[in-house]
Chain A
Amino acid sequence: MTGPRDLQGEMRKLLLDRDTADRLLSGSVAPDDAPPGYAGVAGLLRSCTRLSTPDGKRERATILAMTETIRSRRSASPSVFGRAAARRPLRLKLVGVGVGAMLVGTSGLAFAGELPAPAQRIAHTVFASIGVDIPTPDAPASPEGVPNGSEPPRSVEGSPIATKGDAISSIARNHVGRAGAHGAHGVTVSTEASDGHSQAGQPHGQSEQPHGQSGQPHGQSEQPHGQSGQPHGQPAQPHGQSGQPLGQSEGPHGNSGEPHGHSDATHPA
């Protein structure tokens, strides 16, 4: 029979701290080193850690099966990285389309002079470096040159030409288009015009724009259907006027009215 004293002794004997419990369960405590009352537990747990050696035949079969499983999985389905790579072209396409759309939109706005001023300046610089002239943000709309009572000059597309840049752009487009049609060299018209030079030095010295002169520095034609007035092959005058004084267009088709004077081919012959 166990008395209260024995029970107290047993309880005291079985005190176990956390670290010792951990060490016992890792099998690292020899029975001799175990706390009082736990020598048997230490021995018991140590004997549990003795493990049998694997069956060689079963080991071989299991490993072969594992090898086949892994290889078949690897060949059957793309890896996580493989799937990511497979998605990459689609992502690239989407990004490409996005960038392309952005470029087209930005270029359109730049040509229209609708970009915010700093962006427009940058666009102007960038496009100028490749020979394309687009309006600068500070190009003022001409208050002059618009015939009284008449509508402001319009581009071929019919939109009002509000700024010098618009006019330049419009001329450049129209002229280039015509040059292409007539086989003439009108490509530089816009650049010339933007510098205030006449394009009068065109090979055949004729303005291809029947109603007005492109490239007049101050851009006013007094001749209703003014020609550039340049003979065949004559060089352009320094400031490229076709002998026109600075002044406003008075003629019905003497348009431009732009500070740097560009005829707008509003009325093709």
Chain B
Amino acid sequence: MSIEAFESVLSGAQAGAEWALTILYRDLHPRVLRYLSVREPAEAEDLASEVWLDVAQGIGRFRGDEDGFRAWVFTIARRRLLDLRRRASVRRGKPAPLDLGGDRGTGDVEGEAMASLGSDEAIALIASLPSDQYDVVLLRIIGDLSVADVARILGKRPGAVRALQHRALKRLARIISREAVTE
């Protein structure tokens, strides 16, 4: 979406225009829902609805561009997740370790095998990362957020986020090659 288009959509949404809210919702909801569902599969839909109601309550005060808007929505989503956990003392239910199955080789074959995974399976594999690395990878890949935005959402410095994402990628590479070797 161009800057001008986003501005007109945003002002329409701030005025309560249904068309504008629909555009924003369709643009962001799948990512928000994915993010929530990998963290709280059972509550994801309800949490996503709450996130959008929070967006509706605060959108009048929002100032910024499209990236800023996305980061703001994910900030709300993460806050909702934390609230839910605080309230219910729910332990994060990591998805079961992924059974990658099938023949997987190394190199390009391995890459193709990974690319052919369903997104749920891919998320399940990422869920085997330590929690902080998992957060960073999810927000970067699902939220499509920059390092700076992720740093703001997680309350970390950008350098720390870069270090976490670097470790996460290395670990994933090791996990995939190990699993490929063992199978």
User: Interface on A for B, CB 8 Å cutoff?
Assistant: 10, 14, 16, 18, 21-22, 24-27, 30-32, 34, 36-54, 58-59, 62-67, 69-71, 73-74, 79-80
Give chain A residues whose Cβ lies under 8 Å from the Cβ of B60.
Answer: 70, 73-74, 79
Question: Contact: B122 with A47, CB < 8 Å?
Answer: yes
Does residue B151 face the partner (Cβ distance < 8 Å to A)? no
Q: Is the interface of A mostly helix, strand, loop or mixed?
A: helix
With known contacts A39-B108, A43-B113, A47-B114, A14–B174 Cβ distance under 8 A: yes
List B64-109 residues whose CB lies under 8 Å from chain A.
104, 106-108
Give chain A residues whose Cβ lies under 8 Å from the Cβ of B137.
Answer: 25, 45
Question: Contact: B107 with A39, CB < 8 Å?
Answer: yes
With known contacts A40-B110, A63-B25, A48–B52 Cβ distance under 8 A: no
| Cα distance A74–B15 in the bound complex, in angstroms | 8
Give chain B residues whose Cβ lies under 8 Å from the Cβ of A42.
Answer: 111, 114-115
List B26-63 residues whose CB lies under 8 Å from chain A.
26, 29-31, 33-34, 45, 48-49, 52-53, 55-57, 59-61
Could you write out 17 A-B pairs with CB less than 8 Å apart? A18-B166, A32-B108, A40-B113, A40-B114, A41-B169, A41-B176, A44-B172, A47-B119, A47-B122, A48-B142, A51-B30, A54-B33, A59-B26, A62-B29, A62-B52, A67-B56, A70-B56
Given A39-B111, A69-B56; 6 other pairs, CB 8 A cutoff: A32-B108, A44-B114, A47-B122, A49-B142, A66-B21, A71-B16
The listed residue with most B CB atoms (<10 A of its CB), out of A22, A59, A62, is A62
State how many angstroms separate the Cβ of A264 from the closest Cβ of chain B. 69
Question: Contact: A54 with B26, CB < 8 Å?
Answer: yes
User: Interface on B for A, CB 8 Å cutoff?
Assistant: 13-18, 21-22, 25-26, 29-31, 33-34, 45, 48-49, 52-53, 55-57, 59-61, 104, 106-108, 110-119, 121-123, 125-126, 137, 140-142, 144, 147, 162, 165-166, 169-170, 172-174, 176-177, 180
Give chain B residues whose Cβ lies under 8 Å from the Cβ of A66.
Answer: 21, 25, 52-53, 55-56
Q: Lowest 7 A-B CB distances belong to which pairs?
A: A31-B111, A43-B114, A39-B111, A43-B115, A40-B176, A51-B30, A70-B16
Q: Which residue of B lies closest to A74 (CB)?
A: B16
Q: Which residue of A lies closest to B179 (CB)?
A: A40
Contact of A52 among B30, B52, B107, B147 (CB under 8 A): B30
